[in-house]
Structure 1
């Protein structure tokens, strides 16, 4: 029953996405869980985070968790299956993937992120669809794929060009898996291996998505991918993240071509509406401020007249005499107050007291100084306590520096 519920939930999640992300292997220090969908443009953040790099985006994704930052993976292996939405792999942890960019853009972002910090990382990208002629002398050395027995194929046929090319890609993947133990060496620097398979889509178009030939092709692909994953896992002793994701570039281009003009029109209409609303609000605010200033000026003038009349009346009383200079000073104060109100400029920018902006390296430097200061303080305290409690025996430096015999010999 639980299996049925899981498959139903997974089917609902994959309907809403047009791709799939599968984690085939991950060490204990990096944990993948949940079923939250993510965008392919965010994969560069996920891949670089698991290798110990600081993410540049703040978009949250609850599917990955770093449990031990001191034992991070030593390599990332990414296998891209072009032109399909799912490979129906029985292994690994599955996540829905929204394809919003081509795989080469993702690769360039990951490799550029690693090259910014260190230029000695191993960065290998291989398109197995280029064939043996292009990959005979690849970055992993000379590849010698084994020949395929036609009798081992039930529904695929080497007589079909699409099937033959797909089988050649699988044989190249197996040849790479056999070559890894002799060419790949684990080191302390993070490495990235990127493999692109593009021959599955023509097979599905030729035989149909639900045909027996497609099912056989998916099984052979998953077997070859498992061989490649196991080879890298053995070389790096499990300290490697092996990820597989699908990418349908044709669907991405079609979606952009249909939605882009509409999105641009909606954005322009929204900008115009926002501008009109802001202009209307600004005009209303200016009118309100102008009326307030006029009302304040009228009230101030009336107040000035009342004060002048009161002062003139009090001057006639012998018990309450007010000099002319005092009257002038009060009128000047009121006039200055009136002029300051009239000098209000609604277009003058308001200076905000914003907090200081800190760079991304501030918390790193802060932690370095903090923990170094703590360790240095306790180390100095331990040294002081040890010296204070030192026994001034004959083998002590305190005895040697204070011995009378030593002074006589000198």
Structure 2
């Protein structure tokens, strides 16, 4: 009777049809083992990927700290440690996507994204940044000034590099600017029904502000389509925490949270399709959904611009000095003059070493004749 009561209690707690219960006898005691097969955890979803990027479908878990390495590999860069993860197969050596877009959604473990390439469970969801990948892009393609954009609207954290400063100059970044943008023509408030969401609640406005930022990014790229056709890959890193705030204020079972989750899923699906199309079907778009990070991360903005030794104090980017067109001429003059002088010294030293004063020195002969005359 006690075991039956325990089983009924467990079923009432989980209320899931796919919870399996195994009851065994061991050492004359009852042991209850639960296997919740339907529980979903944090995940990494590949929304869009070029044909030459081979993402294999499966349930291979990926550690959260390895996400920057995964992004670097998809963009064709090498990493310090090999990523022994079967989800990404080796692709062509001379092909790389024109852009990589990573969206981190906090406050939810999974989103309904049916039109995705593949989805993988995420384990050890520690906080991370793509600073290392941004530095690779900047150092490798510095002459092409690629677009590097890292944005977290809720924290008003923005980092732009290269052509991003010109493209996203009008992008609202502070919460006050984004909320003002929501009241203007063409805002996302007219694109979908708000249902239980309110335009006056702070948590709701934070979520809607993040949706507005996604819309404005694609709208601004529409005006600068030529940037998606250059020879340098672009990097986008976005962090959205509106769902986390809605969950904290209203709870996960609230209609506001459910409506926001549905809206964000459809918006992200369209955002991925737009970015993929803007870059000529050569962009990788990933979505990381995590309830909460295990450890807080403190980062310093513009960290990739810092350098211990700056070769050119007048430039904050640690660039080399600019040389004029006479540099090559002066360099060749100095180089060949030094070579001629070195050869002359060698010839003179060799002749002096092998000289016989009795036969080769006129001074010796003149002195000898003068002595004989005396």
**Equivalent of 1:79 in 103, 106, 126:** 103
Separation (CA, whole Å) in 1 of partners of 2:53 and 2:209: 34
1:165 aligns with: 206
Higher gyration radius (CA): 1
User: Following TM superposition, by how much is the alpha carbon of 1:237 offset from its aligned partner in structure 2, in angstroms?
Assistant: 1.1
- Separation in 2, partners of 1:172, 1:117: 29
Instruction: Give the whole-Å Cα distance in 2 for the aligned partners of 1:109 and 1:150.
Output: 36
Cα distance 1:132–1:66, how it changes in 2: closer, same or farther (>3 A)? closer
Check 1:94–1:168 CA distance in 2 against 1; reply closer, same or farther (3 A cut).
same
What is the alpha-carbon distance in structure 2 between the residues aligned to residue 61 and residue 122 of structure 1? 28
Please point out which of 168, 177, 186 is paired with 1:140: 168
Deviations 1:335-384 (A, max 9, x none): xxxxxxxxxxxxxxxxxxxxxxxxxxxxxxxxxxxxxxxxxxxxxxxxxx
Q: Does 1:46 align with 2:70?
A: yes
Stretches of structure 1 that go unaligned for 5 or more consecutive residues are 1-7, 255-410
Q: Any conservation in 2 of the 1:75–1:241 contact (CA below 8 Å)?
A: yes
1:114 paired residue number? 137
Please give the TM-score of this superposition, normalised by the length of structure 2. 0.57
Partner of 1:67: 91
Unpaired runs of at least 5, structure 2: 1-19, 21-35, 172-180, 298-374
Once superposed, what is the RMSD of the aligned Cα atoms? Answer: 3.2
1:124/1:139 contact within 8 Å kept: no
Q: CA deviation at 1:151?
A: 9.4
- TM-score, normalised to structure 1, is 0.52
Aligned twin of 1:174: 215
Note if 1:153 corresponds to 2:194.
yes
Matched with 1:339 is none
1:129 matched residue in structure 2:
154
CA offset digits 1:13-47 (Å, max 9, x no partner): 864x5x21010000110011222000121111211
Q: Tell me the CA shift for residue 253 of structure 1.
A: 4.6
Structural mapping, 1:293-332, within 5 Å: none
* Distance in 1 between residues matched to 2:38 and 2:124, nearest whole Å: 14
What's the CA shift string for 1:228-259, capped at 9, x where partnerless?
212211111111100111245554359xxxxx
In structure 2, how many angstroms separate the alpha carbons of the residues matched to 1:48 and 1:155?
40
Rounded to whole Å, the distance in 2 between the matches of 1:124 and 1:183 is: 15
Asked if 1:217 corresponds to 2:260, the answer is yes
d(CA) in 1 for partners of 2:167 and 2:151? Answer: 8
Q: Which has the higher contact order (CA 8 A, sep 6+)?
A: 2
> Cα distance, 1:211 vs. partner?
2.9
**Count of aligned residue pairs for this structure pair:** 240
CA distance in 2, matches of 1:141, 1:127: 16
Instruction: Please state which structure has a larger fraction of its residues in helix.
Output: 1
Q: Distance in 2 between matches of 1:52 and 1:250?
A: 28
